[in-house]
């Protein structure tokens, strides 16, 4: 049954009604004009600032590019840092005083900027221009192999005495940071303008709404004489209007018919249900029978075959004798629902990224980082096979470092980072099917059959570390939010793994000798202090390679380096795991033997001498070593212990070398001037000076051994 509204006109025919309607439209028009004018004004200013932000942000990229090009030219490779420097300088001037910002080859076009406004912003751009000048001067000095210590620091950067390349990197980082601060200042200015615009528009909207409410009240007074049937529909009507009863649809508004692309008569009865999503049809039937719920959502297919989300309000007018049905007022909320989904996904992504960042910050070892990654894969998907492939130190091989514990690993067979398509492209790659023509070759001919895949590169500061790899059913790859989370995981994981590896490498370099791999003097000195402080028994040995100068002069410094490495390797293999051997300097070593006294240490050193005698490979000239020994029962300070051991070493040299001799503390104390002996042990922060007695020359050829220093500085 189709409802007929009769011939009554909605707003009557009186001239006063037209005046009210005109007033409503004039009010809406004025509000729209003012809103559009304000929007255009703010947008035009934002457009100018957006160009300035783009150029300011570009300065960061140019600074990094300039450093890379300087280093490339320094290595003899092709690059043009002078061009990059000129673009940076011209851009900095344009940002400050306005004018043309030059284009960047292969990147973007030039643009014209207005002068910077505001003292704070001008100061930031002026500081950037000075930093660009200092950075360019430093880059030119690096390329010309000139010292940079005398270069001016016009930006008051106070970066200290650094080597030229470090100075260049620091200046580039400072310039990048100033550009970022300026861009943020511009962004905040835009946000303030937009906030003011929103405030004004809200006020306009409220004022217009109040005005329209007054006018609408006047209009309603003229419509009270309308028929009850018309009034029931008009008062409850919204965008899409449908009247339902237990027999089906009794009325649809023209907007509904236009939406589904059918005539109104074609939708009466049960025909409207054909356009309702099958999961929502029981709900509509319940609403038609009971009038409840009062508010709900359902989906309807439009004429283009798209499902639209509708927000509906049900008004139960079954008791109204003029209608006898349930009136549905609905509006299309598809765009809003999609926006809400996007915002929800963004919030989930931000929450995931925040939690991941916090977890990675607490991971100090690479194994801990890999554990966080493994747990993150489960949070992304419990059923999707995922694995992290990382390269070894040579960057030539990839191996699985972590995988989703809830699913079988995908088992990607790629062997090296740059054999991976995602690593070469530097971005996430999605493959719908391993059988597709453009699929990764590594996905083909899998024992488990065709599959889809998502591969995300893992890198640190532009250096490829590996790839995050997932597989799924053929034709059904991960999409949407999981891919975004994988990208976040790959980015943060790469940054943390790279940072941990860099820190471990720095720590290793800081505590070891680069030639022999032994701990350095600082580490040995720290160990001696701790043993003395704990009052543990230990022996300390000073070892010196015999006739090392003659070995260097006869066979070359390379042979000398081999001898040092051979001694370090042999002694380390002979000593116990808890013994310590350190390279003290030159051909001199210090050995710490916990829980042994000076006499027990002689037997240990005899084994070292024996193992050294039989360990010579053919390419290394034969050599011997002499040892001086002391123990913690002979002295109370590190300085005294080392002086006693050094006295034993001196005696071993005089006795013919290739032997171990226990030092005599009384001889050392007697030969040390009284005023040079420290009253107390020096603090850890201060250097310790070992005072040695003057040695008479060894009665052998003068060139057989380097002259020994009169003192050794312990740093």
Mean pLDDT of the chain: 79
Flag whether pLDDT at 203 surpasses 50: yes
Q: Just give the CATH number of 343-507.
A: 3.30.450.40
Tell whether the model's pLDDT for residue 655 goes beyond 90.
yes
Model confidence at 165, pLDDT cuts 50, 70, 90, reads confident
Tell whether the model's pLDDT for residue 438 goes beyond 90.
no
- Residue 700 pLDDT more than 80? no
* Proportion of the chain above pLDDT 90, given as a percent: 17
Q: Which fold has domain 15-203?
A: 1.20.120
**pLDDT for residue 391:** 83
Please, how many CA atoms are within 13 Å of residue 481, restricted to the half-sphere of its CB?
Answer: 16
Confidence label for 675 from pLDDT (cuts 50, 70 and 90)? very low
Statement: residue 62 has pLDDT above 80: yes
What pLDDT was estimated at residue 672? 47
* pLDDT value of residue 693: 38
Q: Would you state the pLDDT for residue 705?
A: 42
Tens-digit pLDDT profile for residues 228-240: 455 455 444 446 8
Instruction: Look at the domain 228-332 and name its fold.
Output: Beta-Lactamase (3.30.450)
pLDDT tier at 320 (50, 70, 90 boundaries)? confident
Strand order in the sheet with 386-391: 398-403, 386-391, 463-472, 452-460, 429-431
Provide the pLDDT for residue 54. 80
For residue 206, the model assigns a pLDDT of 82
For the chain, the domains span 15-203, 228-332, 343-507, 521-714
**Lowest-pLDDT range of 275-284, 355-364, 506-515, 627-636:** 506-515
**Domain 521-714 sits in which CATH superfamily?**
Reverse transcriptase/Diguanylate cyclase domain (3.30.70.270)
Q: Is pLDDT at 110 greater than 80 in this prediction?
A: no
Tell me what percent of the residues of the chain surpass a pLDDT of 70. Answer: 82
- Model pLDDT for residues 239-262, shown as the tens digit of each residue: 688 888 878 888 888 888 888 888
pLDDT value for 642: 94
Q: Given this chain, do its domains 343-507 and 521-714 carry the same CATH topology?
A: no
The strands making up 588-594's β-sheet, listed across from edge to edge, are 580-585, 588-594, 538-545, 625-631, 660-662
Is the CA virtual torsion 221, 223, 224, 230 positive or negative?
negative
State pLDDT tens for residues 571-599. Answer: 999 999 889 999 998 899 999 999 999 99
- For residue 429, the SS3 value is strand
How many beta carbons lie within 10 A of that of residue 438, not counting itself?
A: 8
Q: Rounded to a whole number, what is the largest CA-CA distance in the chain?
A: 134
At residue 673, the pLDDT reads: 44
Please name every residue paired with 241 in a beta bridge, in sequence order, or none if there are none: 329
Tens-digit pLDDT profile for residues 448-477: 889 999 999 998 887 888 899 899 898 888
> What confidence tens digit (pLDDT) does each residue in 353-407 have?
888 888 988 988 888 889 999 899 888 888 888 999 988 765 677 888 888 888 8
- pLDDT score of 682: 39
First-to-last C-alpha distance (Å) of the chain = 102
- At 539-560, the pLDDT tens digits run 999 999 999 999 888 888 888 8
More confident residue, 39 or 314: 314
Looking at residue 574, its pLDDT comes to 92
Task: Report, as an integer, the average pLDDT of 163-167.
Answer: 83
């Amino acid at each position: 049954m189709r409802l007929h509204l009769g011939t009554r006109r909605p707003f009557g025919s009186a001239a006063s009604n037209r005046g009210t309607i005109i007033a409503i439209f004039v009010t809406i028009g004025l509000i729209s004009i003012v809103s559009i004018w304000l929007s255009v004004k703010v947008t035009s200013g934002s457009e100018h600032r957006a160009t300035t932000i783009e150029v300011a942000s570009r300065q960061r990229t140019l600074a990094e590019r300039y450093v890379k090009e300087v280093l490339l030219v320094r290595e003899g490779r092709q690059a043009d840092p002078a061009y990059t420097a000129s673009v940076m300088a011209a851009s900095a001037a344009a940002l400050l005083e306005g004018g043309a910002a030059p284009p960047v080859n292969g990147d973007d076009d030039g643009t014209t900027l207005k002068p910077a406004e505001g003292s704070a912003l001008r100061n930031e751009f002026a500081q950037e221009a000075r930093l660009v000048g200092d950075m360019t001067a430093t880059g030119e000095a690096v390329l010309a192999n000139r010292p940079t210590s005398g270069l001016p620091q016009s930006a008051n950067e106070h970066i200290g005495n650094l080597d030229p390349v470090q100075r260049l990197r620091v200046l580039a980082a400072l310039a990048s940071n100033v550009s970022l601060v300026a861009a943020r200042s511009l962004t905040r200015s835009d946000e303030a303008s937009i906030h003011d615009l929103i405030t004004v528009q809200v006020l306009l909207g409220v004022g217009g709404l109040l005005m329209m409410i007054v006018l609408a009240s006047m209009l309603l007074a003229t419509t009270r004489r309308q028929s009850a049937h018309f009034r029931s529909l008009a008062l409850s009507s919204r965008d899409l209007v449908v009247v339902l009863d237990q027999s089906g649809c009794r009325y649809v508004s023209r907007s509904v018919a236009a939406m589904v692309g059918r005539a109104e008569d074609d939708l009466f009865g049960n025909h409207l249900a054909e356009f309702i999503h099958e999961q929502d049809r029981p709900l509509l039937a319940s609403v038609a029978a009971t009038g409840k719920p009062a508010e709900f959502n359902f989906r309807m297919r439009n004429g283009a075959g798209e499902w639209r989300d509708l927000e509906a309000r049900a008004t139960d007018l079954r008791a109204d004798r003029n209608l006898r049905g349930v009136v549905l007022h609905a509006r299309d909320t598809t765009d809003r629902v999609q926006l809400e989904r996007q915002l929800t996904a963004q919030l989930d992504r931000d929450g995931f990224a925040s939690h991941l960042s916090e977890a990675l910050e607490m991971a100090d070892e690479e194994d801990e980082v890999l554990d966080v990654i493994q747990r993150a894969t489960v949070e992304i998907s419990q059923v999707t096979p995922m694995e992290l492939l990382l390269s070894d130190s040579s960057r030539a091989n990839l191996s699985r470092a972590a995988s989703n514990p809830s699913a079988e690993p995908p088992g990607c067979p790629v062997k090296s980072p740059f054999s991976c398509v995602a690593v070469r492209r530097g971005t996430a790659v999605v493959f719908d099917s391993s059988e597709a023509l453009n699929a990764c070759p590594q996905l083909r001919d899998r024992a488990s059959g065709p599959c889809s895949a998502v591969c995300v590169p893992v890198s640190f500061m532009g250096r490829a570390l590996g790839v995050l790899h997932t597989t799924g059913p053929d034709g059904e790859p991960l999409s949407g939010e999981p891919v975004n989370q994988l990208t976040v995981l790959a980015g943060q994981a790469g940054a943390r793994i790279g940072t941990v590896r860099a820190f471990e490498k720095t720590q290793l370099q800081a505590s070891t000798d680069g030639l022999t791999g032994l701990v350095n003097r600082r580490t040995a000195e720290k160990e001696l202090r701790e043993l003395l402080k704990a009052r543990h028994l230990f022996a300390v040995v000073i070892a010196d390679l015999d006739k090392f100068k003659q070995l260097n002069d006869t066979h070359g410094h390379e042979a000398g380096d081999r001898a040092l490495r051979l001694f370090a390797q042999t002694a380390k293999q002979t000593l116990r795991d808890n013994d310590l051997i350190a390279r003290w300097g030159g051909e001199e070593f210090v050995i710490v033997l916990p829980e042994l006294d000076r006499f027990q240490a002689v037997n240990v050193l005899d084994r070292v001498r024996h193992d050294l005698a039989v360990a010579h490979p053919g390419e290394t000239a034969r050599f011997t070593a002499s040892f001086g020994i002391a123990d913690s029962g002979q002295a109370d300070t590190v300085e005294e212990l080392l002086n006693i051991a050094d006295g034993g070493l001196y005696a071993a040299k005089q006795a013919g070398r290739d032997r171990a001799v226990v030092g005599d503390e009384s001889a050392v104390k007697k030969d040390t001037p009284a005023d040079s002996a420290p009253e107390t042990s020096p603090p850890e922060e201060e250097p310790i000076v070992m005072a040695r007695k003057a040695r008479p020359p060894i009665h052998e050829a003068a060139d057989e051994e380097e002259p020994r220093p009169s003192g050794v500085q312990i740093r």
